[in-house]
Structure 1
Amino acid sequence: MIKALQQPSIDWQMKFSKKLIQARDHRLQSFYSKILPSPDTPISEIEFLAVDFETTGLDPKKDGIITIGVVPFTLNRICLSRAKHWTVRPKQKLEEESVVIHGITHNDILGAPDFSEVIDEVLDALSGKIMVVHYRRIEREFLDQALKARINEGIIFPVLDTLQIESDLQNKISGGLWNKLKGKKPGSVRLGKSRTRYGLPVYTPHHALTDAIATAELLQAQIAHHFDPNQPIRDFWL
């Protein structure tokens, strides 16, 4: 078993306590009031929430969220019956390049609500959970910007990033002088490629709920293959 490859020293409970005092919006106050797991809690005892966004582009300051998928899970089980999916109408125009990627068209969002109309539901789903994402910049920065644009307050939260975990693993596996001499390079850390490495099935990408489920399965596989499930959550959250 590999010990966690990063040792983040983030005191998320302290951060949440400070944010609870600073928050003005009652929904953020409720979000920060939910008790997070102790940093010493073994990851085997955590109920995670896999989260994925599809967006109009990659710049959170110019682009917006189109769909959100979330699914609760543990290292042993994925709770599909509690999965949720939202389609929202972005303020930005859908560009052809992004439509080609995620397949969401103007017709799909015509009757969709603005993100402001689902803030309560989304924050309620996220509250008290340790979120798992594949490339944390997307979910963190897009949610932060979406809230700032609508309630003038952003958000912070702990995550486990399966892309970061896989990147660290690949760098470790391909490291060393001998591997360099052989020209060995780290493998791809894209979601699909990472899943293939663990023998996980191929899913059609770029659907928020499907990608959330795929991310949950990937974390389960990463822990099963490389880590001790009794390691504390503080070794993994960012």
Structure 2
Amino acid sequence: SNPNLEKVSLSSMRILSCGGSPIPPAHVLRVLSHVGSEFFVSYGMTECCGKISMSLVSEEQRLAWGPEGIVQNICTSGRPFLLSDVRIVDHKGLDVVPASGQVGHVWVRGHSMFPGYWRNDSANATSFADGWFCTGDMGLINKNGYVTIVDRAKDMILCGGENVYCAEVEAALHEHPHVSQAAVIGIPNQVMGEVVAAVLVVSEPISQADIVTFCRMRLSEYKVPYVVEFVEQMPTTGSGKILKTKL
């Protein structure tokens, strides 16, 4: 959406990477159409000395998967690096079945992982299980071993007993041609416990009814935003992450 994009030449760019938070597939497709270079998403955290996985696709994989398969895998958080192991486990600590669509907790181990939090026994007790670090992220894994991060466990919305993952709703919102930025949060509700609220930056005026109708075509009813708020600018960190705590 940057107006300067059409004014500059990107022909010398060989590869482009994005990380920090889940990126909507609509954004990835937009980048691929404008840039033309290789592109991948990376996933990591400070506790694991930076990177855990990346979605870079090899030439062999490109030939095997075709255009649709390439995009599907690039839009994930990628496969673990050589020195990292990643598991997706359910609430009992059992591995979820790849390509089942089941969301679970992301556990990581490897030589690059930190040994623990300094002088914080309580945090270490809840963050480690049998040598695995519990990242606090929720994700799923596809048949190719590529992991997709869908939310932070603490940010997951529980609406009428159903789990709503913010990244899924945000991805649907970003498909709207007039939505520049979207952030989804849960707000208390006496009947449902929590309901979905969407905060949007838009490029052209649209109504809450427009957004609700648009989302109903893409999401289950309990995932459709109950509240829609429009803002001029999102609060962000220095690295550009949206600060949901200030919404």
TM over 0.5: no
TM-score normalised per structure 2? 0.25
Query: Which has the larger helix fraction?
Result: 1
Query: Which has the larger strand fraction?
Result: 2
Could you say which structure has the greater relative contact order, defined with CA pairs below 8 angstroms and 6 or more residues apart? 1
